[in-house]
Structure 1
């Protein structure tokens, strides 16, 4: 039984989608990031960067959602081509999400919705970079059902973040191939199950000032 340390954020959903796709036995260990669970000593032993998700699979402990997806795909031999060009095409788009889309959308979300100071330059800078990256993804999806042709961990990594574009008031009509892909992804039974499992976990958590301070590491 795999222990999955989870909270319903884009990064949290990435491994949850995989787990639901392949049907591995797992149990969710909620990490309430609004209550500061990510800073508890017992969790830091698993994830020293005080971030979820993380997994414990027997004697294997992993943090970072991209590393978890790679591990799970190699463990199950699913959703990652075994070798050569196709494998690295998937890996490069996984890295694109980890190093680009996720961080830029995260910063846009912070400065637009949560920052105590109104900094127009930061809002504009990260929103524009988010749009640029979505343009890259839209072009990639021009003639493909999925990011690298066949459904893979690249799609699982990108989907929960791309889904947040509407929450940032990104005009998805400018990115029609992404809009079609989001619909295609959202119709997958495993993705529906993942969100049905995840959403109730934080349903009653209020994002008040103290919670935001904990979430963004500014608590005194």
Structure 2
């Protein structure tokens, strides 16, 4: 039984979806990032960057327990453990990895900044809003062009690249996106959203997450507490 320390965010949902797709038994432990659970010593012991998600697998690759943080690394680990959603061919594997890195280095950070400046920032800064909204649109355009000629993000197989990207696009409205501008990406999005394992994955811990409205939660996530050295 894999223990998952997580919250209902795009990065958390990546791992929830992967576990559901693979049919692996797991326990989800909520880490309320608005309340500061991510700074507790027991969580920092398995996730030193104080970010969710993290996992502990008692049945690691050498028969010993293993803990992992960083959602991309967890996806790769679970793909290796199960032999699923990562192509066996060298070419297919690298094509999947390049799109996984595209998500980790581009889609996640840039859409996260779009969310922050459009929704959460205490001061509406037109420069920042325009910069990250335009970058969101550029990234959506890259994916739309790719999916005009490819069934899935990394090729003809559903892979961890699709699993990594999908949760970030669920908040498309907050990113200033009009789906009419990205028809190929919208078709892919709807297909992924209809998968039963995806539907189960995005519901994990979702009932615990509340809108970020109180100043204390905002300070935990965006204020000095976040930047303290630990």
Residues 5-37 of structure 1: CA deviation (Å, up to 9, x unaligned): 110000000010010011101000100001000
| Residue of structure 2 aligned with 1:159, choices 140, 158, 166 | 166
Query: Matched residue of 2:112: which SS?
Result: helix
The answer on 1:175 being equivalent to 2:182 is yes
The answer on 1:74 being equivalent to 2:41 is no
**C-alpha separation in 2, matches of 1:26 and 1:80:** 21
**C-alpha separation in 2, matches of 1:198 and 1:169:** 26
Query: Matched residue of 2:29: which SS?
Result: strand
Q: Which residue of the partner structure matches residue 62 of structure 2? A: none
Query: Matched residue of 1:61: which SS?
Result: strand
Query: Matched residue of 2:185: which SS?
Result: helix
**C-alpha separation in 1, matches of 2:203 and 2:39:** 27
Query: How many angstroms does 1:198 deviate by?
Result: 3.2
1:38-49 alignment to 2 at 5 Å?
38-49=38-49
Query: How many angstroms does 1:143 deviate by?
Result: 2.6
**C-alpha separation in 2, matches of 1:7 and 1:56:** 15
Query: Matched residue of 1:62: which SS?
Result: strand
Query: How many angstroms does 1:169 deviate by?
Result: 2.9
Identify unmatched segments of 5+ residues in structure 1: none
Contact kept? 2:13, 2:204, Cα under 8 Å? no
Q: Structure 1 residues 129 and 206, CA, compared in 2 at 3 Å: closer, same or farther?
A: closer
**C-alpha separation in 2, matches of 1:33 and 1:118:** 24
**C-alpha separation in 1, matches of 2:115 and 2:181:** 20
**C-alpha separation in 2, matches of 1:81 and 1:124:** 38
**C-alpha separation in 2, matches of 1:206 and 1:143:** 39
1:61-210 alignment to 2 at 5 Å?
61-148=67-154, 149-202=156-209, 204=210, 207-210=213-216
Contact kept? 1:13, 1:160, Cα under 8 Å? yes
**C-alpha separation in 1, matches of 2:90 and 2:212:** 47
**C-alpha separation in 1, matches of 2:158 and 2:211:** 33
Structure holding more helix per residue: 1
TM-score by length of 2: 0.91
Contact kept? 2:54, 2:68, Cα under 8 Å? yes
Query: How many angstroms does 1:88 deviate by?
Result: 0.5
Query: How many angstroms does 1:83 deviate by?
Result: 3.6
Q: Could you tell which deviates more after superposition, 38-47 or 143-152?
A: 143-152
